[in-house]
Structure formats: structure tokens, C-alpha cells
Structure 1
Amino acid sequence: MGKAGGYIGKWNSLSGYGKITFLKSVFCLLWIKAGLSLLSFSTFRKFFHKLTGNQTSKEFSQEQIDMTVWAVDTAANLLPLELLCLPRALATKYLLRGAPSLTLEIGVEINPAKKFEAHAWIEKNGTIIIGDWPTSISYQRLWVWE
């Protein structure tokens, strides 16, 4: 059965919430990728802000957060598109919108010997929940998108 069998087995083991979260992740990643590809970043940011702004505060359990992160990462790995850190962070931020303790962080690598590298990640109360990087890399925050 191989890899496909593993995915089918995982799908079958998911709760209803897990399946819905995974399908929402697929849809969310696709529209974010389309938006980032077709719109200027400024226009996309305004559109994204309208979709995520004015949400009532909502707390998510750690299990819901973990399931959302798993669903976004898995969907991003399975879709035949290049979905790196920014679309993953934006999808997670959107799916967990209303959570007051989540911030989308954007930074650059501090290493003069390398070319410019940027990275995006989501933090909850200072702890990275998606977009973690190896300890050998250090990113300097440039922008926090709350």
C-alpha cells in the first residue's frame, strides 16, 4: 500500500473535527497561494485583514491548535504547489483567527555570509507553533502581524 495507504489510514483515524480542519486547510492554502500570486502584497494584506479582523476573541484548546498545525503542514506537503512558510503561517493565522495570543512574525536571517533569507512563523505567547527553524539559524523579527 505504501505512502498512499498511510495517508488513507491517517484520514480514517481522524475525528470529524480533524477531517474538517484538514479540508479547511486545503481550501485556505489554495486561496492564500492564489492571493499571494495574483495580488500585490499590499492588496493581499488588506484583503486578509478584512477576513481576519473584527473577530470576537476565541480560545482554542491545545488539541485544536495542534490539529490545525498538523492539518496545515500536511496539506501544504501534499498539494502540488510550493507552499513555504508564509502561506502556512497565514493559513494557520486564518484558521485560528480570533485567538488573542497568536501573532504572525516575519523576520530575516542574520548571517552576513549567506544570501538574504526571510521566514514567517506563528507564535502563541512567545512559543512558535508553526514555522520553527533549526537552532543553527537566527532570525531577526522585522514585522509582527497581529
Structure 2
Amino acid sequence: MKQILKFFRVPPTDRYLLVKSAFLLGVIRLGLSLFPLKRLLGLVGSVKHELTEVSSADNISSNRIAWAVEVASRYVPFATCLTRALVVQMLFTKEGYPAHLCIGVAKSKEDRLEAHAWVESEGRIVIGGLKDISRFNLLPPLEGERP
């Protein structure tokens, strides 16, 4: 109940952004479970291309986009770092902000392979930042992803 009250206390533009983020997180999450990553990136790439054709009158700040995706992801089951990164990349593209999807891999202390995704824009990490992000080896861009 507290979350619902909090939701209605935020400005209408933020509410809209939260709902849009939650919807996209759900769609991308579902897509990740149904399609191979390369295929999903191709689909997301074509959607991003279409989104840039639409002029946006919203002028949403990049910080608000990252905030909305981070908050909405708490309420979308299994919204992983990759899910959040793909949604931020889509929304940044729509708003005209540069966004580069980064996927890295590293070995954990237990000698297991770990992967992490984040988005960089204008030299800074906008979502998915970790204290030890430098330990991840960046993978080359995948097909369908436009750097």
C-alpha cells in the first residue's frame, strides 16, 4: 500500500515514465526468455531505429530515465542487469541520448563465470555500475546492436 501511495505522490511525468519502464522491462524480460540474445538484439535494434523516427516532446533527462528503470525493475520479476540495460538503451535512443550497451564477463572468487550488462553514455555508466566493474572483460558488440 505504501508503494501505491508513493507512486501517486510523484509528478505525472515520472509516473508515466515508471509505467513505461515497467512495461518495457516486462516485454524485454519475456523476450529474453523466448529468443536467443542475438535475435532479441536485432528486434530491439529495429525498434530503436523506429523510435528515433518519432520526435519526442517529452525531453526526459537521462538521470530520470535511469532512475525510472531502476525503480520499476524492483517490481518486475527476474529483471536482470541485461533487462535493465536494454530498456535504458531503448529509452535513451528514443530521447536522443547516446547509449552504448556493454556486456562483460569475469571469473568469480569461486572460479565461476559471471556476466554483467551496463549502459554507458557520454563516458559515464548510467545503469549497471558496480564498484568492481573493472574486473569485467568487455565483450565485442553483438550482431543487431549498433554501437
Q: For the superposition of Structure 1 and Structure 2, which TM-score range results when normalised by the shorter chain?
A: 0.7 to 0.9
Amino acid at match of 1:134: K
The structure 2 residue matched to 1:114, chosen from 104, 111, 114, is: 111
Q: Residues 14-34 of structure 1: CA distance to partner in whole angstroms, max 9, x if unpaired?
A: 212101100000110111011
Which residue of the partner structure matches residue 48 of structure 2?
52
Which residue of the partner structure matches residue 16 of structure 1?
12
Which residue of the partner structure matches residue 129 of structure 2?
132
Which residue of the partner structure matches residue 94 of structure 1?
90
Q: Percent identity?
A: 27
The structure 2 residue matched to 1:65, chosen from 62, 65, 76, is: 62
What is the RMSD computed on CA atoms of the aligned residues?
Answer: 2.5
In 1, Cα distance between the equivalents of 2:42 and 2:72?
25
Q: Which runs of 5+ in 2 are unaligned?
A: none
In 1, Cα distance between the equivalents of 2:124 and 2:133?
17
- Structure 1 consecutive aligned stretches of length 4 or more whose deviation exceeds 4 Å: 110-113
**Pairwise CA distance, 1:138:** 1.4
The answer to whether the 8 A contact 1:109-1:116 is kept is yes
Amino acid at match of 1:17: T
Q: Does 1:30 align with 2:65?
A: no
Aligned pair in 2 of structure 1 residues 90, 18: CA closer, same or farther (>3 Å)? same
Amino acid at match of 1:108: V
